[in-house]
Homo-oligomer: A and B are copies of this chain.
Amino acid sequence: MTEDIDLPVSSAARVADPDEDITLDELRLAARNHGMPLEALDYDVTPVGLHYLLTHYDIPILDHPSWRLNIAGHVQHPLELDLAALQALPQVTQRVTLECAGNGRAKLLPRPVSQPWLDEAVGTADWTGTPLAPLLRRAGVASSAVDVVFTGADHGIERGIEQDYQRALPLEEVLRDDVLLAYAVNGQPLPPQHGAPVRLIVPGWYGMTQVKWLVRIDVIDTAFTGFQNAHAYRLKQAADDEGVPVTRIEPRALVRPPGFPDFQTRVRIVDRGVHELTGRAWSGHAPVTRVEVSADAGQTWADAVLGPDPEPYAWRAWRWTWEAGEPGRHTLCARATDAAGNVQPVEEPWNVQGMANNVIHRVPVLVR
């Protein structure tokens, strides 16, 4: 950036005043990014167009024939691959749940001002591509390697810093067998909004890691200090804290809202009687081992019945029989526990950027 222009652009992260409604800045983001409507929890695999989307800058249009992926930096043999070369490599398909690290942000008090997610920044898809580790081995990663930097073709400015979208991962994460260079989703070539022609998929990590419109992979011998790693995706109590990195997806269960909605408020209307509540639960740390449900706003909890084991990083279905007896307002809740012992909190874990918030899901319903 030239420095002689007074940029009317965002600077430090801020939180809203206690009585401040959603701002126009937040609405502009919400109008272009979108969540998964929660009735789509009915699908094992989220249809394209219903999966959540978060794009920092513009969605680039890349010309597939001229697209190249460069693998460079601290490697013995830098590689340049075109799409045909990538697609000729061994192909795998993995079912993976992705979630935005900012999911739940707009429900925090005070509210961090950024993309204003409520509960719905999630989706599960079948991602097809080729494992990255063999390509890095072919390139010959130097013994001095520390981080691997992934660069997308999307370009913008964020808190005054002009950048291509870049995120780095520690080398040991990158070398996992299940890290993919993906070129198809749900059996179709990637659509533009999901990173066409090629994106990164790192199962278990929040969405900021899943670099779209991938054009470069650089092996570096220091810890990466780029904006998205060093500033944006960190858990901080104040804007100038160093904070700690956001990494894997915290456990979460969502309730498929029962009944039908009011257009404006989205409150659910449910007939008195027996209902089979359903939903999904996931964790990037370990398999989900328990989902509890409450029909009285969290005063009492009961165990849901879990569906079959999903693929390692895909959401798990659950169900629970609810006797909706008393007409009036009720609040349904669900909370997930994973095999590593992580349990969703009942009180929200606040941080200044609203990252990795996984407070339990609450669904207001009106029984008639």
Contact = CB atoms under 8 A, between A and B. Distances in A.
B22 A23 contact: yes
A337 interface: no
A191 B47 contact: yes
A50 interface: yes
A47 B263 contact: no
A32 B263 contact: no
Given A47-B191, A50-B192, A57 B264 contact: no
Nearest to A157: B262
A262 B37 contact: no
Contacts of A191: 47-50
A34 interface: yes
B58 A39 contact: yes
A10 B264 contact: yes
A118 interface: yes
A77 interface: no
Interface in A119-141: 120
A84 interface: no
A29 B266 CA distance: 8
Most B CB contacts (10 A, CB to CB) among A32, A37, A106, A194 go to A32
Contact of A31 (B35, B57, B257): B35
Interface stretch (A1-9, A174-182, A202-210, A244-252): A1-9
Contact of A30 (B20, B27, B366): B27
Contacts of A260: 57-58, 155-157
A209 B257 CA distance: 27
A21 interface: yes
Given A23-B21, A157-B261, A8 B48 contact: no
A261 B49 contact: no
B327 A5 contact: yes
Nearest to A329: B8
B50 A193 contact: yes
Given A30-B31, A48-B191, A156-B261, 15 more contacts: A2-B368, A10-B262, A10-B265, A26-B27, A28-B118, A31-B34, A32-B34, A32-B35, A32-B120, A39-B58, A49-B53, A50-B59, A50-B192, A156-B260, A157-B261
Pick the 4 closest A-B CB pairs, nearest first. A10-B264, A34-B34, A21-B21, A22-B22
21 contacts: A5-B328, A8-B265, A8-B366, A9-B264, A9-B269, A9-B366, A10-B262, A22-B23, A27-B30, A31-B118, A32-B35, A37-B193, A39-B61, A48-B49, A49-B193, A50-B59, A57-B260, A155-B260, A156-B262, A157-B261, A162-B269
